[in-house]
Chain A
């Protein structure tokens, strides 16, 4: 297999991960309604981790494949080591299989986001190191003139490696013996891990904006670098809104309060500027990719309001530990990350197969996805209001009674989840077919090399 085809394989695996993720999400949400559903062999404690690791895999693999694709489009073979891409792919493939095996057999580490056996992380880290080395090889070619997305991808990779290691500090007795220290660092690493993938995804969004607009200056201005450094500072110091309620020293939490959630303002500003200045004719070339970027813009706006509110400690006190936090998480993962990454994959698919972006089915799927997501987030938010009230009233009824009272919202969540499942499958199928077609294609130039298509 030629090196370039491994890049398409990353993207194809990403689509498979997304399919497993939404299937797992649907399965888990059905268990909210019917506690006995597959309880004996595939209970919630098994399904939820599959849903979570598949969601993370979707983001990581699609970001990786897209970045490789765009790096190759810019510099061609001279900027990338094809054998490193190959090793990176195989190591992620084996690690991915090991993760699912670990969850299915119950040999897990049991930590949020990194539920699988800790030893698997060694392979994942090696894959990230290969990616970072390859990226540096490419970035060296333009060391004196790097657009902001290069900076974002580079720092995203480095901080990803650091925070994946930090997430496993718990194996050391010094960290583990103090529960609050351990718990704080666990959520610090998770928060910054998300911040690291955001660097990769937001970098992609800026790259796509430049390409769709046909103007690379958008990624070189002073303002865009100012926002980049603000986002990076947020990644480093803005994680503690997850643990406002933990008994840590106030300076840990105050630092986060001050830094909190400026990332949404950053991206909103950049995308808003882009849309305002874009010429109509340019949009048509990548119609569907453009639509997904617009959707991301809308969901950033919605999440911005929620994020800013729940980062105020007095409000966070009432929303923490409720489904309102999940509303924010899902809004970010589906509304922002997934919209941007689908935009990247559809941009690539449109490039490989002209005419792909004007398919009518994709337009319907796009509408269904956004409507379903809106209903899904509203149901989560309302369930969160119910739980918050229950906590504020000093838990007047047992937890089981509270859960029964929330069933109408869980049911809405489940049915809107079907809408998300159907619409995503509708989008994944044709995109996956194109990737497979070009994977087996005899065309020499599967990816346009070194000419920045």
Chain B
């Protein structure tokens, strides 16, 4: 009986802590970059999701590994917006032969521009501390 009471008490304390923690994560303060996506970028994200692009590509290293990470492709010195628009319908290697129209290409480019503006991956200027922590460079 006594043990069951303590177990329930611990559970309640954990759940209360979880509620406060979630509130903090859901509010803007938890995220360093807080600018809003434009309507074009949201449209681009819709296209990204509907074609399940993350099955092959990553953003911030998260996604499938068949294609390259696209976090900073928009600002990449040898790639950039023209490269993005050019490769979308190319059907090169593993890429399916998409038939995106100009508006869809623009929207996807706007989405990738928005992603690019949030940070770096890989974070080349990160600072390694002796305790194992890594301070990442932010925009």
Contact = CB atoms under 8 A, between A and B. Distances in A.
Interface of A: 31-32, 35, 39-40, 43-46, 48-49, 106, 108-112, 115, 143-146, 151, 155, 175-181, 183-185, 187-188, 222, 225, 229, 232-233, 236-237, 242-249, 251-252, 254-255, 257, 312-317, 320-323, 326, 387, 391, 394, 399-400
A46 B28 contact: no
Contacts of B37: 176-179
B115 interface: yes
Interface string B53-94: 111101111111111110000000000000000000000011
Contacts of A233: 14
Given A177-B37, A229-B14, A185 B26 contact: yes
Contacts of B10: 229
A110 B54 contact: yes
Given A246-B119, A247-B136, A180 B64 contact: no
Contacts of A45: 51-53, 55-56, 96
Interface of B: 1, 3-4, 7, 10-11, 14, 17-18, 21, 25-26, 28-37, 42, 45, 48-56, 58-69, 93-94, 96-97, 114-115, 118-119, 121-124, 126, 128-129, 132-134, 136, 138-139
A232 B118 contact: no
Contacts of A175: 26
A39 B25 contact: no
B1 to A, nearest CB: 6
15 contacts: A35-B94, A44-B56, A44-B64, A176-B42, A178-B31, A179-B114, A180-B34, A183-B62, A225-B3, A247-B32, A247-B139, A249-B30, A254-B133, A317-B123, A320-B61
A204 to B, nearest CB: 20
B26 to A, nearest CB: 7
Contacts of A40: 96-97
Contacts of B69: 321
B139 A252 contact: no
A245 to B, nearest CB: 6
Most buried by A among B30, B62, B123, B134: B62
B7 A151 contact: yes
Given A43-B96, A184-B30, A245 B36 contact: no
B31 A144 contact: no
Contacts of A44: 55-56, 64, 66, 94
A402 to B, nearest CB: 9
Contacts of A187: 62
A242 B10 CA distance: 27
B32 A248 contact: yes
Most buried by B among A46, A112, A248, A257: A248
10 closest A-B pairs (Cβ-Cβ)?
A321-B61, A110-B49, A399-B68, A45-B55, A247-B32, A247-B119, A313-B134, A180-B31, A45-B52, A177-B36
B14 A112 contact: no
Most buried by B among A146, A179, A188, A320: A179
A247 B122 contact: no
A46 B96 CA distance: 11
Contact of A312 (B61, B65, B132): B132
Nearest to B49: A110
Contacts of B14: 229, 232-233, 236
Given A144-B4, A247-B33, A110 B48 contact: yes
A248 B31 contact: yes
Given A144-B1, A399-B67, A247 B51 contact: no
Contacts of A312: 132
A41 to B, nearest CB: 10
B49 A394 contact: no
Contact of A236 (B21, B51, B63, B97): B21
A110 B52 contact: yes
A236 B42 contact: no
A32 B29 contact: no
B25 A257 contact: no
Contacts of A243: 60, 62
A226 B80 CA distance: 53
A49 B4 contact: no
Given A35-B93, A111-B49, A394 B124 contact: yes
Nearest to B115: A179
A321 B57 CA distance: 10
Nearest to B64: A48
Nearest to B129: A314
Contacts of B42: 176-177
B132 to A, nearest CB: 5
Nearest to A154: B11
A321 B122 CA distance: 9
B55 A48 contact: yes
Contact of A252 (B25, B49, B118): B25
Given A178-B33, A184-B30, A315-B132, 4 more contacts: A242-B62, A245-B60, A246-B60, A317-B126
B82 to A, nearest CB: 17
